Amino acid sequence: MLVQTLKGFRDFLPQEAKKRQYVIQTLKKVFESYGFEPLETPALEYKEILTGKYGDEGDKLMYTFQDNGGRDVALRYDQTVPLARVVAQYQNELSLPFKRFQIQPVWRAENTQRGRFREFLQCDIDICGTKSSLSDAELLSLIYKGYSSLGFESFKILVNDRDLFKNLAQKAITIIDKIKKIGEEEVIKELQEIGVSSEVLEELLSAQKTDSLQDITSQAVLLGVPESILVFEPTLARGLDYYTGIIIEVEIDGYTVGSVGGGGRYDNLIGMFAGKDIPAVGFAFGFDRIMDAMEEKNLFPSSVGNDDILVTIFSPEYLEDSLSLLSTLRENNITAQIYLDPQVKMEKQLKYADQKNISYVLILGPEEKEKNRVTFKNMKTREQIQRSLQEILQLLAKN
């Protein structure tokens, strides 16, 4: 038996898992502070719910199979289509506008490469049920707050209006969307190959913000988004053809792997399920890219999980003393753990504390017991002092 994970699938060991939790918690707090509410949907859906919404490419990358009951099922491919189903299915229970966030994994049988996996977390915010420009502006404000809260200081929110593409075929849009990767000349060449005049690109490049986009960005500024961060980019198209209004991408200055999030307005998708139009606008924080960029820019707080206390066991005879010491700490609401094997030598227990990044260690052996003291060791400075239990409690309460 090969002991391994599938290609494109990842284990997250504690150090990494803690960082992921930090990002999730930070974003969740921001989402909640804007009145967004959590939603969870199943990993598996009826296949017909998901297919046909992401284009041929999407259908090809979808994990689909027959379950034991012979149903055609598919693994969640994104969180937008399940949201559309939910809004349609519970129309009478959900009061609109419905502002929800959703943070769950999705699965895509992609070719794997740097930063592209077959299982990855999505982190979505969407507002359903209103066409008002204010909802777009509030979304931009939340996007700004989200990246700022993670510690990013220098980033851009690129915006465009799908309306600029209204006379263009999807093929031409796909080519223009690649302009940053392949350059203007190549775009013109590829456009000509499909019989589209190069003037199309020139017109786009000199286009002005639409009135609707102007409204949205002015309101976003009133909501506190610095004007310099909102950048109108008339060639920004984004792949999916279900967008109907504003489209959004976020780029971190100096992070060259690609955009760290994207979204836009999609007024017709929910109607496919609901049988009536329910407009919506949404954005997905690109979780893996954000993690990657935060590593690069060293934005994770160093303190994450480092203020632990380990109660050691001097030897099996002193087990009861250490247990009651631990109990006392916990009764005083001091977070502490105990080394779990009384047979193991002190040296190895201290090494364990180092490996686990534990900051403080308590030792209670014959010497300490005689003096009615506990040894308190700072694992970073290696300093140690002996104090009474009462003094230790005061010391730790201050920490």
Residues 76-105 that bind a second copy (CB under 8 A): 85-86, 88-90, 93-95, 97, 99-100, 105
Pairing mode, strands 246-252 and 155-161: antiparallel
Site for a second copy in 325-364 (CB under 8 A): 326-327, 330-331, 335-338, 340-343, 352, 355-356, 358
Alpha-carbon gap, residue 230 to 158, rounded angstroms: 6
Tokens of 319: 């087990």
**Residue 59: φ, ψ to 5°:** -60, -35
Alpha-carbon gap, residue 86 to 124, rounded angstroms: 15
* 319 sits near a second copy (criterion: CB under 8 A): yes
- Minimal distance, residue 257 CB to a second copy, in Å: 22
Give the nearer residue to a second copy in terms of CB position, either 302 or 343.
Answer: 343
Give the nearer residue to a second copy in terms of CB position, either 6 or 256.
Answer: 6
CA distances from 214 to 152, 235, 265 (A): 25, 17, 15
Site for a second copy in 226-285 (CB under 8 A): 273
Give the nearer residue to a second copy in terms of CB position, either 119 or 391.
Answer: 119
Cβ-Cβ contacts under 8 Å for 305 (sequence gap 6 or more):
18, 357
With CB under 8 A as the contact rule, the residue among 167, 193, 224, 382 that binds a second copy is: 224
* 222 sits near a second copy (criterion: CB under 8 A): yes
Alpha-carbon gap, residue 329 to 78, rounded angstroms: 45
Give the nearer residue to a second copy in terms of CB position, either 18 or 371.
Answer: 18
Site for a second copy in 281-310 (CB under 8 A): 305, 308, 310
- Minimal distance, residue 33 CB to a second copy, in Å: 4
Torsion of CA 157, 162, 163, 169, to 10 degrees: 150
Closest CA to 143 of 77, 195, 220, 91: 220
Residue pair 352/310 in contact by the 8 Å Cβ criterion: yes
Give the nearer residue to a second copy in terms of CB position, either 97 or 262.
Answer: 97
Give the nearer residue to a second copy in terms of CB position, either 48 or 317.
Answer: 48
Task: Give me the amino acid identity at 293.
Answer: A
Task: Give me the amino acid identity at 358.
Answer: I
* 123 sits near a second copy (criterion: CB under 8 A): no
Give the nearer residue to a second copy in terms of CB position, either 121 or 200.
Answer: 121
With CB under 8 A as the contact rule, the residue among 26, 49, 149, 173 that binds a second copy is: 49
